Amino acid sequence: MVLSGPSGSGKSTAIKALEDLGFFCVDNMPVSLLPKFLELVQSGEIAKVAAVVDVREREFLREFTPVFETLKKSGYKVEILYLEASDESLVRRFSETRRKHPLASSESPLEGILREREMLNELKAHADKVVDTTQFTVHQLRDTIKEYFSGPVTTEKMIINLISFGYKYGIPTDADLVMDIRFLPNPFFSNSLKWLDGTDEEVKKFVLGNEQSQEFLNRFRNFLDYLIPLYWKEGKSYLTIAIGCTGGKHRSVVIAEKLAEDINSDIAVARKRHRDVHKI
């Protein structure tokens, strides 16, 4: 697992989470040393390795493409995890920690953030998974990493990440597919259900107990049954499906939960995360 992304996006937290999952982790690894390093690791009993590479190692942008191609041809399973965050959140994080951005020549980190983002564009395009940490706390990022990567190097199944969200808080930027279900009946307008959420049985009965919801689920499941094998055939390891309603508390949670139950198959395993369920 190669971990990269702009400074301040959460790579230190992510690498600690991967370490907890049994990965042998190395920070700031020169890309040119990766092939030799993996040869040494392979001679032991280490099966999972995670290396952080970023602009601190100045030559990696020039070297990463040929090195990664060499590793894949040699039979290694190499996956790139890229952490992203908005300019505003990165500036705030640098201000709170009083750290200097490694590429900023002035006191303002924004100059370095913009320069670094431009330098990393090509690497981001090669990423197998992009995780936006803008709205994450340290604990949420750690949990997300553990959910996503608790077994990607040992499983031969595609990981389907189902995220429920509220449109009022914005669309998840790491979503591959986005489904708007605001057309379904809304429990928010029921006084007895308004303050519950989609994990409650009464809310589930309300959302799923009508013909419109059942028809949608049947049609969407058929679509995914068609789509997932095609992604798998193309070698895609992860697919993130975002299910959105107005506030991300009722309908999207119910539908994501239901899809997570139905998606597991011979080639795919589903994981779920309810991004906005606890927001007011």
Give the H or E element holding residue 119.
helix 110-125
Assess whether pLDDT exceeds 70 at residue 107: no
Q: How far apart are CA 104 and CA 239, in angstroms?
A: 35
Q: How confident is the model at residue 198 (pLDDT cuts 50, 70, 90)?
A: very high
* pLDDT, position 84: 92
Q: How far apart are CA 257 and CA 261, in angstroms?
A: 7
Of the candidates 190, 193, 191, 213, which has an alpha carbon nearest to the alpha carbon of residue 201?
A: 193
* pLDDT, position 144: 84
| CATH 3.40.50.300 residue window(s) in the chain | 2-148
Q: What is the DSSP string of 24-53?
A: EEESS--GGGHHHHHHHHHTTT---EEEE-
* The domain over range 2-148 is classified in CATH as 3.40.50.300: yes
More confident residue, 12 or 72: 12
Give the H or E element holding residue 178.
strand 177-180
Segment 22-30 shows an average pLDDT of 85
Segment 178-187 shows an average pLDDT of 96
Q: How remote is the C-alpha of 197 from its chain's centroid?
A: 23
Q: Which of 4-8, 100-104, 245-249, 260-264 is predicted least confidently?
A: 100-104
Residues 6+ apart with CB under 8 A from 196: 187, 202, 203, 250
**pTM summary value:** 0.62
Strands 80-84 and 129-132 come out as parallel
